[in-house]
Amino acid sequence: MKPHLLFVDDEAPIREMLSLYFHKRGYEVSTATESAEAVRLAEGNTFSAAILDVDIAGENGLALLTLLKAKYPKLPIIMFTGFDTNEDLLAKAMSLGADGFMRKTESLHDLLGIVERYAPVD
């Protein structure tokens, strides 16, 4: 069975790019544009890992991180941001249970490396 990833980002080009990139590498991918949709998907699926945007259409991605970690404590969650990150944001995400943190400007290969730690393709 393929590892199943959840991507939550309000930017369609980002969702499409990540979905295609990970499909080509053997992953099943589900995407959501906002927190409520992500929660519905999480309730109906078993995900190997989730990648959440820090800022989802004005919503707080850290709030979604907190909610998903409360319901699914073993779900690895990687925070993904287009903002310049500061140490406070990184520390807050990690203290809330994030398993990784990455800027959208970093290479997809680096993101793949983080995902493979938690959800390797057999």
Q: Running DSSP on this structure, what letter comes out for residue 40?
A: H
Q: What is the pLDDT of residues 90-105, one digit of tens each?
A: 888 899 999 998 888 8
Task: Please check whether residue 38 lies inside any domain of the structure.
Answer: yes
Looking at residue 85, its pLDDT comes to 64
Q: Running DSSP on this structure, what letter comes out for residue 79?
A: E
Task: Please check whether residue 122 lies inside any domain of the structure.
Answer: no
Residue 106's domain comprises: 4-12+22-81+95-117
> For residue 29, what is the enclosing H or E element?
strand 28-32
Number of domains the chain is built from: 1
Task: Please check whether residue 45 lies inside any domain of the structure.
Answer: yes
Q: What's 53's domain CATH number?
A: 3.40.50.2300
Q: What is the pLDDT of residues 3-21, one digit of tens each?
A: 999 999 999 999 999 999 9
